[in-house]
Amino acid sequence: KRKQKEMRILMVGLDNSGKTTIVLKLNGEDTSVISPTLGFNIKTLTYQKYTLNIWDVGGQRTIRSYWRNYFEQTDGLVWVVDSSDLRRLDDCKMELDNLLKEERLSGASLLILANKQDLKGALKPDEIAKVLNLENMDKTRHWEIVGCSAYTGEGLLEGFDWLIQDIA
């Protein structure tokens, strides 16, 4: 357990899942707080009292050793899914499974955001949970899945409230 101001959250998912848009929405559209770090698609920003690191996974295996620097002291993981991109759900599952194997992330609470719920044809959170096989997650992992839309803002606070409460 940590003091709130030390909380570190890693936001990850395939590219195009909506990570940047979610953060902008959380920040009230203030883009100025987002600055690219180190030139490989990791962004760092401060949200309320929290440090958020955001990055795209997939297709970047050569830099995986760098990602590990970001795993240290990660309290919370936010995994963002494009619920309307059925074609890439297998990819999404594989990358999530890989990430969760990281020993340094073993204590991190996991929030899965089933994003883009505003789109027709988007899978519902329980359907996403099935595809990602969340029921068979390691029993020690704290996790939750919440449907959301970065466009409407639906679900975002519910999700982050859960995460922050679970960590605190």
Does 91 bind ligand GDP (CB under 6 A)? Our answer is no
Least distance (Å) from ligand GDP to the CB of residue 75? Answer: 21
- For 83-142, what is the HEC assignment? CCCHHHHHHHHHHHHHHHCCHHHCCCEEEEEEECCCCCCCCCHHHHHHHCCHHHCCCCCC
Of 76 and 147, the one with the shorter C-beta distance to ligand GDP is: 147
Catalytic residue among 4, 48, 60, 73: 60
* 20 annotated to bind ligand: yes
> Tokens 């997650």 identify what position?
137
* Annotated binding-site residue? 152: no
One of 10, 12, 17, 110 touching ligand GDP (CB under 6 A)? 17
The DSSP-derived string for 25-71 is HHTTT-GGG-EEETTTTEEEEEETTEEEEEEEESS-GGGHHHHHHHH
User: Least distance from C-beta 67 to ligand GDP, angstroms?
Assistant: 16
Among residues 7, 79, 99, 116, which is the contact residue for ligand GDP, using CB under 6 A?
Answer: 116
Residues 116 and 83: beta-carbon distance below 8 Å: yes
14 is in an annotated binding site: yes
116 is in an annotated binding site: yes
Question: Smallest gap, in angstroms, from Cβ of residue 148 to ligand GDP?
Answer: 7
143 CB neighbour count, 10 Å cutoff: 19
Our finding on whether 150 is near ligand GDP (CB under 6 A) is yes
- The answer to whether 73 is a known catalytic residue is no
The residues assigned a catalytic role are 60
